[in-house]
Amino acid sequence: MNSVEKALINRLQHGMPLVRRPYAAVAEELGLDEQQVLGTVKKLLADGVLTRFGPMFHAGEMGGALTLAAMRIPEADFERVTEQVNSFDEVAHNYRREHDLNMWFVLATETREAIESTISAIEDTTGYPVYNMPKEQEFHVHLHFPV
């Protein structure tokens, strides 16, 4: 990664300014121009350095619901089940863990009731139970990975 890419990644991890032209504001902070910021973000996405760039909505504050879910999937079936689980629009952050419950993902739905119906649909589709682990308390970690 070059110095512009590193600086941009480090800056973007702290969020976008809520202004009419956020990319121009970020560009000004970094001593770049707006097109350079936009082009660099596009390049980082195309190269796979960034896998996603976009807003994070708090479904619970918008009237929806969130939950953490886990599954116990045999190794031989892991790839198939991953594809099936990821096919649900409500699924985000699906990742593998070295644990008896080896698949973990977040569900975000428009209503609280939709959490249960989505879990049931995932169970019906995959043939495996889903363990629902709704949050009891929210913590803001402000996770940042300097590059």
- Say which CATH number the domain at 97 has: 3.30.70.3460
Q: Say what the pLDDT of residue 124 is.
A: 98
In a domain, 66, yes or no: yes
Q: Say what the pLDDT of residue 35 is.
A: 97
Name the phi and psi angles at 144, rounded to 5: -145, 130
Strand partners, 133: 68
pLDDT profile of the chain (147 residues), mean per 10: 96 93 98 97 94 76 86 97 95 91 94 94 98 85 82
Residue 9, sorted as left (phi over 0), alpha (psi -120 to 50) or beta, turns out to be alpha
Q: Say what the pLDDT of residue 38 is.
A: 97
In a domain, 54, yes or no: no
Same domain for 41 and 65: no
Same domain for 91 and 63: yes
Q: Say what the pLDDT of residue 137 is.
A: 81
In a domain, 119, yes or no: yes
Contact 75, 45 (CB under 8 A): no
Q: Say what the pLDDT of residue 70 is.
A: 98
Domain, as residue range, for 17: 3-46
Same domain for 120 and 91: yes
Same domain for 68 and 7: no
Distance of alpha carbon 47 from its chain centroid, rounded? 18
Same domain for 75 and 38: no
Q: Say what the pLDDT of residue 141 is.
A: 76
Same domain for 34 and 13: yes
Domain count, the chain: 2
Same domain for 81 and 15: no
Closest CA to 37 of 29, 47, 46, 26: 26
Tokens representing residue 94 in the block: 């699906």
Same domain for 29 and 70: no
Q: Say what the pLDDT of residue 97 is.
A: 94
Same domain for 119 and 83: yes
